[in-house]
Amino acid sequence: MNTAVGRFAPTPSGRMHIGNVYAMLAAWLSAKSQVNPVIGLPGRVFLRIEDVDGSRAVPDADKWIMDDLHWLGLDWDGEPVYQSRRSAIYREALYALQSIDLDADAPLGDRSHVSGKVLVTRGDSSVSAGRLPDVPKGSAGRFPLVYPCFCSRADLRAACAPQEGDRFLIYPGTCRALLAGDPNEVRSRLEARRRHSWRIAVPDDEMGGGSVAFDDRVFGRQVFDLARDVGDTVIRRSDGVFAYQLVVVVDDLLMGVNDIVRGRDLLRSTALQVWIRKALIASGFAERYGIGSDDVAESDRGDAAGKARPVGTSVNPVYAHVPLIDAPSGQRLAKRKRSPDLGVLRAAGVEPEQVIGYCAWLLGVRKSDGIGNCGAAGPVPMDAQEALERFSWEQVKTDVSDRKLTVNWESELVSPKSATVA
């Protein structure tokens, strides 16, 4: 029986708003509600400050977030992990991925699909970019797992049709075709230091395609076709910043996170991340950090009921994607400007129990009237422990539609009596 290990993963781009608290509460409740029967302790939650993109980080926002989490009663274990201090690890992960290739002959689902064969031995050079994937001659169906992409943002906008609401662009494969057809051109562009990103390839139709499936605690079985739904994706941007999709997988893997809770707009990203995770394990990267082949085999069977193993080494994540929060107008809360943040709410005299109670209500947590009925239809103030006693994923699942804030939610928080349904 594994101990559940969840994480708070805020981007320090400002003060938390109600939607952030909802996500943090969901992650905390999920991990804490899973008591390991062997040791009798609840799950753990780590705090990871997602500041890999320094241009988005606001000075001191990490401290505001931690102060607000304390205020809310949402505690975490250990020291916060800052992505901005982990570049060397991400670089190592990129190098590990660059050392392997896609193999059309191996079936997907079997980790040998990412062959793990080192085609080129590369020294641990300090060159940070410009590594050239070798395309083996006369080996149709084999392709470097990671390849350089010279497309500009404008090129991509022109070529890609945006998908649904998660801003995923399916890459049309321009530079993949270039590398397959004219590796010398790619080599000369790299030598000329042409600006480029690095993409991770997924098996295309010629290679037999492939899909990723996972079970989501809220949305059930999810199946994504890698080529059609995901496409080749940037893992290192052309400005040198490691992409969200890579760093999240590296961090979750190395931090032993096995209980991943986040918004339903990331369902498709999860499919990609499952793919990256498999590749990182196949490359030997995970093993270097003590995540052994036993874990890998178990992970690939998708069998969560494994034998006891120390906390921090499980590579078997369980996913829960929660409905999103809309403003009363129907607009996505995260995109709404001037959404009152915790700084505003706290200055107005709002108590943490009101914020937690409101977010717990959004998650479907209902305060029982003591005779087994849910007595209150609206949000009721409660602290994090009370929410924990009442939380279950079953409640969240009863309604998977996106949540809408009540019209007067701000004033309901400021004057709690109006929020308490008699």
Question: Residues 98-137: x/- map of binding to Zn ion (CB under 5 A)?
Answer: ----------------------------------------
Neighbours of 215 (CB within 10 A): 12
Per the CB < 8 A criterion, the answer to whether 135 and 314 are in contact is no
Q: How far is the CB of 178 from Zn ion (least distance, A)?
A: 7
Considering only CA atoms, which of 6, 4, 5, 74 is closest in space to residue 37?
Answer: 4
State how far the Cα of 273 lies from the Cα of 276, in Å rounded to an integer.
5
Please say which residue, 93 or 151, places its beta carbon nearer to Zn ion. 151
Please say which residue, 33 or 197, places its beta carbon nearer to Zn ion. 197
Q: How far is the CB of 151 from Zn ion (least distance, A)?
A: 3
State how far the Cα of 71 lies from the Cα of 340, in Å rounded to an integer.
17
Pick from 108, 175, 279, 286: which binds Zn ion (CB under 5 A)? 175
Q: Does 163 bind Zn ion (CB under 5 A)?
A: no
**140, exposed or middle or buried, with CB in 10 Å at 0-12, 13-18, 19+?**
exposed
**Residue 75 structure tokens:** 């505690």
Per the CB < 8 A criterion, the answer to whether 125 and 190 are in contact is no
State how far the Cα of 417 lies from the Cα of 422, in Å rounded to an integer.
9
State how far the Cα of 109 lies from the Cα of 112, in Å rounded to an integer.
8
Please say which residue, 176 or 217, places its beta carbon nearer to Zn ion. 176
Neighbours of 264 (CB within 10 A): 19
Q: How far is the CB of 173 from Zn ion (least distance, A)?
A: 8
**Residue 17 structure tokens:** 């708003």
Q: How far is the CB of 154 from Zn ion (least distance, A)?
A: 12
Pick from 49, 149, 235, 241: which binds Zn ion (CB under 5 A)? 149
Q: How far is the CB of 232 from Zn ion (least distance, A)?
A: 9
Q: How far is the CB of 97 from Zn ion (least distance, A)?
A: 17
DSSP 343-405: HHHHHTT--HHHHHHHHHHHTT---B-SSSSB--SS-----HHHHHHH--HHHHHT--SPEE-
Q: How far is the CB of 188 from Zn ion (least distance, A)?
A: 16
Choices 25-33, 143-151, 213-221, 314-322 (CB under 5 A): range interacting with Zn ion: 143-151
Q: How far is the CB of 197 from Zn ion (least distance, A)?
A: 8
Beta bridge partners of residue 103, listed in sequence order:
142
Q: How far is the CB of 227 from Zn ion (least distance, A)?
A: 16
Contacts with Zn ion by CB under 5 A: the residue count is 4
Please say which residue, 151 or 396, places its beta carbon nearer to Zn ion. 151
Choices 94-102, 151-159, 216-224, 401-409 (CB under 5 A): range interacting with Zn ion: 151-159
Per the CB < 8 A criterion, the answer to whether 232 and 202 are in contact is yes
Please say which residue, 187 or 332, places its beta carbon nearer to Zn ion. 187
Choices 1-9, 173-181, 258-266, 319-327 (CB under 5 A): range interacting with Zn ion: 173-181
DSSP 144-195: ESEEEE---HHHHHHH-PBPTTT--B----HHHHHHHH-HHHHHHHHHTT--
Choices 15-23, 33-41, 148-156, 395-403 (CB under 5 A): range interacting with Zn ion: 148-156
**Residue 181 structure tokens:** 């057809």
Please say which residue, 158 or 223, places its beta carbon nearer to Zn ion. 158
Q: How far is the CB of 150 from Zn ion (least distance, A)?
A: 5
Q: How far is the CB of 392 from Zn ion (least distance, A)?
A: 46
Pick from 151, 200, 247, 333: which binds Zn ion (CB under 5 A)? 151
Structure-derived torsion over alpha carbons of residues 171, 176, 182, 183, reported in degrees to the nearest 10: 130
Choices 135-143, 168-176, 289-297, 406-414 (CB under 5 A): range interacting with Zn ion: 168-176
Choices 41-49, 144-152, 294-302, 385-393 (CB under 5 A): range interacting with Zn ion: 144-152
Q: Does 174 bind Zn ion (CB under 5 A)?
A: yes
Q: Does 186 bind Zn ion (CB under 5 A)?
A: no
State how far the Cα of 238 lies from the Cα of 241, in Å rounded to an integer.
7
Please say which residue, 100 or 175, places its beta carbon nearer to Zn ion. 175
**302, exposed or middle or buried, with CB in 10 Å at 0-12, 13-18, 19+?**
exposed
Please say which residue, 172 or 416, places its beta carbon nearer to Zn ion. 172
Site of interaction with Zn ion (CB under 5 A): 149, 151, 174-175
